[in-house]
Amino acid sequence: MAKTAQPESVDEWRRRVSFDFGKGGLGAPEGFKELSIGDEVTVMVTGKVNNLNQTEDTSSFALQMEKIELETGAKAGISDALKKAAKGQKIKK
């Protein structure tokens, strides 16, 4: 008897987000081709909210993406610069 994949827990599913690029949508953002499984990434998405849901137990929203930017560990972004400035550290150029 073949083993089937275990279903994901609801908790894991609720912490997941996916982005689709290509025909009919946005092109892949700069840095996308260099990503690997397990990489840490910060994603900045700009768009308009087109769906809201709030219940006693959960809440969610959906948006129509207009722009997306990736920040990977390989390149420091503005958030890193702001954190360093707040700590009084010298920012590398």
CB 65: neighbour CB atoms within 10 A? 14
Q: Residue 52's pLDDT is what?
A: 96
pLDDT > 70? residue 11: yes
CA distance 8 to 16: 11
Q: Among 32-36, 46-50, 75-79, whose mean pLDDT is lowest?
A: 75-79
More confident site: 77 or 17? 17
User: 0.85 exceeded by the pTM?
Assistant: no
Q: Residue 72's pLDDT is what?
A: 85
| pLDDT confidence bin for 5, thresholds 50/70/90 | low
Q: Which of 77, 81, 87, 8 is nearest to 40 (CA)?
A: 77
Distances, alpha carbon 74 to alpha carbons 8, 31, 34, 35, 40, in Å = 31, 10, 10, 10, 10
Largest CA distance in the chain: 61
